[in-house]
Copies of this chain bind each other. A is one copy, B any other.
Amino acid sequence: MQSFQPPRRILMGPGPSDVSPRVLAALARPTIGHLDPAFQDLMEEIKAGLSRLFNADGYACVPLPAPGTAGMEAAIMNLLEPGDRAVIAINGAFGGRMADMADRAGAEVIKVEFEWGQPVDPAKVEAALAGGPVKVLAFVHAETSTGAKSDAAALCALARKYGALSVVDCVTSLGGITVDAGAWDADVIYSGTQKCLSAPPGLSPICLSPRAQTAISGRTTKVRNWLLDFNLLMAYWGGEGGRTYHHTAPINALYGLHESLVALFEEGQQAVLVRHARSHEALAAGIEAAGLKFLVEPAHRLPQLNAVLVPEGVDEAAVRAYVLAKWDLELGAGLGPLKGKIWRIGLMGASSTAWHVRLCLTALCEALNAQGFKADGAAAVSAADGKLA
């Protein structure tokens, strides 16, 4: 066994995205104790930074000590008790995962399903909500498996109208498109660090509204997960009257998240969103100039996650293998019913730059040409440049 030296990679898949040198440097700062006064100050800064980023004033905001799936599991398992009814919108892999978790919570799950690549249709969701008392409405804002965006404001409003608590998966949206817990009046909203925040994977920021906190503290049964039980977590992260030991926080990973928040606020929240939008427009122009098409209609496309259809006769996996071998470039494959049918091209966080767009178009066209599909790389880059000028 020898020390591991990772190869050079450019990360343009569905996550992780490229991590900036300043965040990598933060990870390597000396570990201190999780009960250290200096660490407790850091926790307060992270809580405040997350509240600002989610626009979740008055919410309880904490980073969970596990990848983004932990945010999903915490939301579902804390809100649902056996016998509760939950409406879950499914328009990709992650909605399906939510339904599986709600089933494990002992809830009655009402699935509202959509074709992969389509957004969640609020009218179909409303029909399900109107069918009887529902405790939770859960949906994915930005489906990582398809690149489709759903209307979080409309869906959260429906949850309020029918007296349900809303759970909003913002794993891929946070930092790439507008996420606004306050304006949406969302109840539980969570993300991951490895997408548009451009920190390494491993943490899941989550925010809970006062309504959600009341629902959790008023449960009649224990949350089935110990590590993700908010009644325990709040005493640990609460900060008032001394913290109750719960788990040992992942200190160095939190250094990384903190630094990524500092960098994001330095650039400016609005400027970051504009950068993501511009990168997407440039990539989209190049993709079309190369003769390729998107899975998702323009109105519902996520700028940070581009699902591009594999042309007839092209070997999807061979193209990814080519760009990895020749350009150190990681692109994503399709999942489930989209396996072999799309590439997923991420333009997330530090991977959302003109340089990444130009490199990706060049590499992708070269790989397509190697497969016998004619794609003019220079024309694709030129089309992208037209949007970047």
Q: Which A residues lie at the B interface, using CB under 8 A? A: 1-9, 11, 13, 15-16, 18-19, 22, 24-36, 38-39, 42, 45, 48-49, 65-70, 73, 77, 97, 100-101, 103-105, 192, 194, 200-202, 222-227, 245-253, 255-256, 258-259, 261-262, 265, 330, 335
Q: By the criterion CB–CB under 8 Å, are B11 and A201 in contact?
A: no
Question: Would A32 and B4 be within 8 Å (CB), given that A227-B70, A248-B67 are in contact?
Answer: no
A258 contact from B4, B19, B77, B248, Cβ within 8 A: B4
**Residues on B with beta carbons closer than 8 Å to the beta carbon of A251:** 16, 200-202
A26 contact from B3, B31, B32, B69, Cβ within 8 A: B3
CB A139 to nearest CB in B, in angstroms, measures: 17
Q: By the criterion CB–CB under 8 Å, are B202 and A65 in contact?
A: yes
Closest Cβ neighbor of A330 among chain B residues:
B33
Closest Cβ neighbor of A11 among chain B residues:
B33
CB A92 to nearest CB in B, in angstroms, measures: 13
CB A246 to nearest CB in B, in angstroms, measures: 8
Q: How far is the CA of A117 from the CA of B359 in the complex (A)?
A: 61
Q: By the criterion CB–CB under 8 Å, are A16 and B33 in contact?
A: yes
CB A229 to nearest CB in B, in angstroms, measures: 8
Question: Would A28 and B32 be within 8 Å (CB), given that A16-B251, A201-B248, A222-B104 are in contact?
Answer: no
Question: Would A248 and B25 be within 8 Å (CB), given that A2-B262, A4-B42, A9-B30 are in contact?
Answer: no
Closest Cβ neighbor of A98 among chain B residues:
B226
**Residues on B with beta carbons closer than 8 Å to the beta carbon of A11:** 31-33
Question: Would A32 and B49 be within 8 Å (CB), given that A201-B250, A225-B225, A255-B4 are in contact?
Answer: no
Q: How far is the CA of A31 from the CA of B15 in the complex (A)?
A: 10
Question: Would A30 and B8 be within 8 Å (CB), given that A66-B65, A225-B104 are in contact?
Answer: yes
Q: By the criterion CB–CB under 8 Å, are A262 and B1 in contact?
A: yes
CB A5 to nearest CB in B, in angstroms, measures: 7
A31 contact from B3, B18, B97, Cβ within 8 A: B18
A200 contact from B3, B7, B31, B48, Cβ within 8 A: B31
Q: How far is the CA of A22 from the CA of B4 in the complex (A)?
A: 11
